[in-house]
Structure 1
Amino acid sequence: GDDDGWMYKQQRKNQRCVIAIHLSLDIALLYIKYSTYPSSITCDELEQELQFVEDFLVKSKSPVVFSHNDLQEGNILLCDECKLNDDGHIKRPTDDDHETDPLVFIDFEYCSYNYRGFDLGNHFCEYAYDYNCDKPPYYKVYDDMFDVVHERKSFCEAYLNEVYKMRDSGQNPHFPSDLVTGDRAVDLERLITESTLFMAVANIYWTCWALLNAEDAVIPFDYGSYARDRLAQYFHQKKALQHYIDTH
């Protein structure tokens, strides 16, 4: 439908541009060392992968929400009054301060209505990427951070807690009915599965984005290498998408 077309339109827009510039891609990974990706990929094969992803999107039943679509480390800021403790918890200005929002999102140029799973899955992918690097390729990948199951579960629990607070407050008469079921255990399992599967979708999206930017890069960043790493991660995760399509 019109509400859930952003992911489809963006993927196709990126893919058409990749074809137009006849950019070939040989996968020669700098960081990701999985054996599940092909040695090379053509534009026609990339087209087939995008069609596969679209098949998954149709079956995913992920709710459509207002999404940031680029929740990476540089776009999540900690307010000056707050501090991050060694244990990962945030210390507010005073112990009784429950009003100050310690985190602020910035850079909304990619925001849109999109699948909830994409926004969360993309954020989980970013756990593994460090862009604060001054040497080529100007980023680092920490493979072990793709598999931080406990951290993803904690995030999903916190997300659902906020959703239930919003629902139960009654302040929004138009609260979406498909965000939660009323059974928190069911909701948690669903959200973990949904967001984990969408990590693959985020990876192929940023693959196409990087290929486009590789042609006329204006900042010191190895877009070609980044595209290869993101695509390899997509292929590593693709089997889970296939299983979901086959069983739903």
Structure 2
Amino acid sequence: MGATESPVHGKADYLPGEAKDILKSLASQWDDVLDVNQLQVIPLKGAMTNEVFQIKWPTKAQEASRKVLVRIYGEGVDIFFDRNDEIQTFESISKHGQGPRLLGRFANGRVEEFIRARTLSASDLHDSDISSLIAAKMKEFHDLDMPGPKVHLWDRLRNWLGEAKRLCCPKEVEAFYLDTIEKEISMLEKELSSAHQRIGFCHNDLQYGNIMIDEKTNSLTIIDYEYASYNPVAYDIANHFCEMAANYHSETPHILDFSKYPDLEKRQNFVKAYLRSSGEEPSESEVEHLLHEVEKYTLPSHLFWGIWGIISGHVNKIDFDYKEYATQRFQEYWSRKPFVLGSVGPSPESVIDDTMEKLMTKESTAKSHHHGHRHLHSRRLRKFLNLAIFRSKHKH
């Protein structure tokens, strides 16, 4: 997931020796760099899969500097994707003239071209002009001719769920309903798969931190392709809509506000801009069909990032409350499912109440000095869930 610049300046000690050698070699090729050893390391905030650093060198023109990006791969994240596939994707996208160029690779990371553009903020996703630009850029991305198998979503969900169950203790498996989720994945695959859906090369993580804008030209660049693969385009759009609930740069970056999920008019405008970017005016039925598919695909998006959160909570050392994030994604799944699919099954209220009871029972066994904070968290989460259920009932 994407990152933005932190005002706290780091030191070159953060970087592996191999990375420093690549950086010095690069800087030695630039005539305007004053001293190749004078590199400045700035940690970028908001990344949740890797550690990301901006590297700067002072130049002879005092107002300018040379910059590159260093990405150090997060611990344990190879569970989520094959790093060699991701590098191949990165290089292929670069050849298509999209995204940053690859400047060097080292054992646990890489050096990338620094894109001189502004990373979007959470509020930018709600700007109608920027949203239309994202829709057109997403269509361009989906149309890329890339290597790889078609429709990766369902296999990936099953593989991740297997990893989550392996990492979790039996109480966690029960509390997160992981055995039930296995059945839900099969049900969703059957309900959502159709011969008439559009398939494209999807980013699968199009949150605001992975989109950059050049404000002089109003052009966008999509970055970070760890999760990219062929999928139904409705899934990618649905995932982007769900990301409008997030602000990864707030004081509580793991807390989601699903009242910020775009309303019907905003979703219609996005889908129209997406379809229109092909050069033809879409029909009303075309817009309605894609909108309907997008709403259904919010469900696997919640499962995808819920399972991701469980695994990340076990393997990733980045400071982010992954399990609370996962809890919210699962609860939004259960609260939306009956209204999106009209499906028969446990009511969201009963599932959520039962899940909360299990989680609170587990919490009560924790050390007493954590009790007050956890009890407050449970009350806040229950309040959040009640709002989510109410909104889902009245959204459509």
TM-score between the two structures when normalised by the length of structure 1: 0.71
Distance, in Å, in 2 between the alignment partners of 1:126 and 1:72 is 5
Residues 25/131 of structure 1: CA separation in 2 closer, same or farther (3 Å cut): farther
Distance, in Å, in 2 between the alignment partners of 1:228 and 1:22 is 14
Contact 1:203 1:233 in 2 (8 A): yes
For residue 235 of structure 1, give the secondary structure of its aligned residue in structure 2.
Answer: helix
Aligned pairs, how many? 197
Q: How many Å apart are 1:232 and its aligned residue?
A: 0.7
Unaligned 5+ runs, structure 1: 28-38, 83-92, 94-99, 169-181
Q: How many Å apart are 1:49 and its aligned residue?
A: 1.6
Q: How many Å apart are 1:59 and its aligned residue?
A: 4.0
Distance, in Å, in 2 between the alignment partners of 1:153 and 1:25 is 42
Is 2:131 the partner of 1:16?
A: no
Deviations 1:142-167 (A, max 9, x none): 2211252221111111001102x1xx
Contact 1:24 1:42 in 2 (8 A): no
Distance, in Å, in 2 between the alignment partners of 1:23 and 1:123 is 32
Residues 162/8 of structure 1: CA separation in 2 closer, same or farther (3 Å cut): same
Is 2:220 the partner of 1:74?
A: no
Alignment of 1:105-144 (within 5 A): 105-133=222-250, 135-136=251-252, 138-144=253-259
For residue 190 of structure 1, give the secondary structure of its aligned residue in structure 2.
Answer: helix
Root-mean-square deviation (CA, aligned residues, Å) is 2.6
Alignment of 1:1-248 (within 5 A): 3-23=149-169, 40-59=175-194, 61-79=196-214, 82=215, 93=216, 100=217, 102-133=219-250, 135-136=251-252, 138-163=253-278, 165=279, 184-243=283-342
Contact 2:211 2:222 in 1 (8 A): yes
Contact 2:244 2:260 in 1 (8 A): yes
Q: How many Å apart are 1:198 and its aligned residue?
A: 0.8
Distance, in Å, in 1 between the alignment partners of 2:269 and 2:171 is 37
For residue 114 of structure 1, give the secondary structure of its aligned residue in structure 2.
Answer: strand
For residue 168 of structure 2, give the secondary structure of its aligned residue in structure 1.
Answer: coil
Residues 105/147 of structure 1: CA separation in 2 closer, same or farther (3 Å cut): closer
Distance, in Å, in 1 between the alignment partners of 2:296 and 2:212 is 27
Distance, in Å, in 1 between the alignment partners of 2:328 and 2:284 is 34
Residues 217/46 of structure 1: CA separation in 2 closer, same or farther (3 Å cut): same
Distance, in Å, in 2 between the alignment partners of 1:197 and 1:60 is 16
Distance, in Å, in 2 between the alignment partners of 1:24 and 1:62 is 38
For residue 130 of structure 1, give the secondary structure of its aligned residue in structure 2.
Answer: coil
Distance, in Å, in 2 between the alignment partners of 1:72 and 1:243 is 28
Name which structure has the greater RCO, CA cutoff 8 Å, separation 6+. Answer: 1
TM-score between the two structures when normalised by the length of structure 2: 0.46
Distance, in Å, in 2 between the alignment partners of 1:215 and 1:130 is 23
For residue 49 of structure 1, give the secondary structure of its aligned residue in structure 2.
Answer: helix
Residues 150/15 of structure 1: CA separation in 2 closer, same or farther (3 Å cut): same
Contact 1:25 1:42 in 2 (8 A): no
Residues 41/213 of structure 1: CA separation in 2 closer, same or farther (3 Å cut): closer
Contact 2:255 2:325 in 1 (8 A): no
Residues 207/23 of structure 1: CA separation in 2 closer, same or farther (3 Å cut): farther
Distance, in Å, in 2 between the alignment partners of 1:196 and 1:121 is 6
Contact 1:4 1:115 in 2 (8 A): no
Unaligned 5+ runs, structure 2: 1-147, 345-396
Q: How many Å apart are 1:23 and its aligned residue?
A: 4.2
Contact 1:206 1:230 in 2 (8 A): yes
Q: How many Å apart are 1:56 and its aligned residue?
A: 2.1
Tell me which residue corresponds to 2:48. Answer: none
Residues 123/183 of structure 1: CA separation in 2 closer, same or farther (3 Å cut): closer
Deviations 1:136-195 (A, max 9, x none): 5x33322211252221111111001102x1xx6xxxxxxxxxxxxx86111111111111
For residue 159 of structure 1, give the secondary structure of its aligned residue in structure 2.
Answer: helix
Contact 1:132 1:139 in 2 (8 A): no
Q: How many Å apart are 1:60 and its aligned residue?
A: 7.8
Contact 2:199 2:233 in 1 (8 A): yes
